[in-house]
Copies of this chain bind each other. A is one copy, B any other.
């Protein structure tokens, strides 16, 4: 699989002294099935706690589009994208979820995550009530 990381770019985290969460929802992703050459479609969700760097969105869009004509297995591409992002951003925590469209009556979702050595999430505060 060719290297796509040159599409990616970053900017400095404006609030690097505390943990906070950024979620990027990308409903438009398409690649090819490596066996049949037919198009596959997926939605990606990227969730991360930034450390020194944040993901630049215009560059992210180009990176995601660059898989358009490559043949990719669901499990491999999700782990590969996570690995590209982790190498670039060195985030405190990152999780990638890819929801692939139905093929042969089966919907596939792959979720992979990474956490920095030694990083612990703050105890989660669950406030009662729901909006």
The chain A residues found within 8 Å of chain B, CB to CB, are 13-15, 18, 20-28, 30, 38-39, 41, 45, 47, 49-50, 54, 57-58, 60-61, 65, 68-69, 73, 75-76, 78-79, 93, 95, 97, 99, 101-115, 121-131
> Which residue in chain B gives the minimum CB-CB distance to A97?
B129
Contact sample, A vs B, 21 pairs, CB 8 Å cutoff: A14-B73, A14-B75, A20-B79, A22-B108, A23-B109, A23-B111, A25-B106, A25-B107, A25-B109, A28-B41, A28-B105, A45-B131, A47-B127, A54-B75, A57-B108, A58-B104, A69-B69, A111-B129, A113-B128, A121-B127, A124-B126
Distance in angstroms between the alpha carbons of A109 and B46 in the assembled complex: 10
Could you tell me if A131 and B106 are in contact, using CB atoms closer than 8 angstroms? no
Q: Is the CB of A15 within 8 A of B76?
A: yes
Q: Which residues of B contact A125 (CB under 8 A)?
A: 93, 95, 113, 115, 121, 128
In whole angstroms, what is the CA distance A121 to B38 when docked? 36
